[in-house]
Structure 1
Amino acid sequence: MTANTRASDLTDRSEKISDAALLELSRRKPERFGEIYDRYVGEIHAYLGRRLDRQAADDLTAEVFLAAFRKREAFDPQRGEVRPWLYGFATNLISSHRRTETRRLAALQRSAAVRDGTEHGHEERVVTRVDAVSAQARLAAELRALPDRDRDVLLLSALGDLSHEEVAQALDIPYGTVGSRLWRARKKLRAALGGVNPLAGGSHG
């Protein structure tokens, strides 16, 4: 074994290896993709669960990482980071389950009150931020009425805690489009909540 080979092996085993470098490495050593999975499976599953439900999240999380594994050769680190790339797969899969999300929003709209001691969905988390339980039904209705593309931008920002740039990478849209869609969605929600900003202290750009 040469010195260069030993150095390469040490680099491969480094716990500090970046996401992009790890994804590149997985092209030669597919088993290393498992480390990408370990790093992000929790937050991707949580995001899907808040948008849809636990059963859908269980199913779709596996699909997100399977799609990413199959397309890892096409990942271009010059275009962005691995994390928003994964959220892009998640959002694409959500688009094929819009009925599930719509049913969830409709059920929340009917419930009208946050349930203590239970797992909260994404709408309830946004309502909690403004401390306005009575507004939950109105907020759910407005989220349900948002165009899919505006809702995706809003919830990637609010739930995924993605920056404007990361949302742009996830959805493969211009940075300016993120800002305009987010502004439009926030404006509608503020109007529904009597002028209160539902994302106060939340997203960043």
Structure 2
Amino acid sequence: MVRPRPDAVFSEVFRASYPDVLAFIRRRTDPALAEDLAAEVFAIAWDRWAEVPREVRPWLFGVARNLVANDHRTQARRRRLELRLGSERDPDPDDTAFSAAALDLRLAWARLDDADREAIALVAWDGLTGREAAAVLGCTRAAFSVRLSRARRRLKRTMGDSVDEPVRSLTTPHLTAAFKGELP
């Protein structure tokens, strides 16, 4: 079914979704690039408006996810080139400014594979429902539920038994709910 391209509807979708899409992107890439990538998400949505499904939000997150993945591949190629040229950047001194609990969480998060991090982040940080997150990842709700529970279990195991208190003190209610196994 081809929908007309009503400017008012697109404008409303943009106003309602832009902050969430921008936040989603900022958590996954260089914040200096986030606004450009968010703008690109909505440019794609505008160009493909007739193909956008009724549930726009998960579709927008899926487009954002693909753009971030493309950006990561571009950055990886750039880093490999820098290494070949011998111009590796110095580490960021701000990275050491974490408390012990935050550092533990950060290390545990880094030990997860990309799929586990994405599953937890979609629910915990982006506030998507299991159904919406499944649409972003292009899988069924049941498959996403299994993926999410396995990711939570691996993160909790990586953090050890002390996961409950540090996580609650460092994160939003969504992330706390995600560690408890509650889906929004």
Shared topology, TM-score over 0.5? yes
Question: For the Cα contact (< 8 Å) 2:10–2:46, is it kept in 1?
Answer: yes
Question: For the Cα contact (< 8 Å) 2:133–2:144, is it kept in 1?
Answer: yes
Aligned-partner Cα distance in 1 for 2:92–2:146: 29
Give the equivalent residue in structure 2 for 1:96. Answer: 70
> 1:29 Cα shift?
3.0
Give the equivalent residue in structure 1 for 2:177. Answer: 201
**What percent of counterpart residues are identical?**
31
Rg: which structure is higher? Answer: 1
Structure 2: runs of 5 or more not aligned: 80-90, 168-174
Question: For the Cα contact (< 8 Å) 2:21–2:38, is it kept in 1?
Answer: yes
Aligned-partner Cα distance in 1 for 2:94–2:105: 8
Deviations 1:96-115 (A, max 9, x none): 233769x9xx96994251xx
Aligned-partner Cα distance in 1 for 2:103–2:124: 18
Give the equivalent residue in structure 2 for 1:29. Answer: 6
Aligned-partner Cα distance in 1 for 2:24–2:153: 23
Give the equivalent residue in structure 2 for 1:56. Answer: 33
TM-score by length of 2: 0.71
Aligned-partner Cα distance in 2 for 1:52–1:34: 25
Question: For the Cα contact (< 8 Å) 1:135–1:193, is it kept in 2?
Answer: no
> 1:41 Cα shift?
0.8
The letter for the 1-side match of 2:48 is K
Give the equivalent residue in structure 2 for 1:136. Answer: 102
Question: For the Cα contact (< 8 Å) 1:108–1:137, is it kept in 2?
Answer: no
**Alignment coverage as a number of residue pairs:** 156
TM-score by length of 1: 0.65
Aligned-partner Cα distance in 2 for 1:108–1:85: 37
Closer, same or farther: CA 135–189 of 1 in aligned 2, 3 Å:
farther
Deviations 1:70-100 (A, max 9, x none): 22211233xxx21111111111112123376
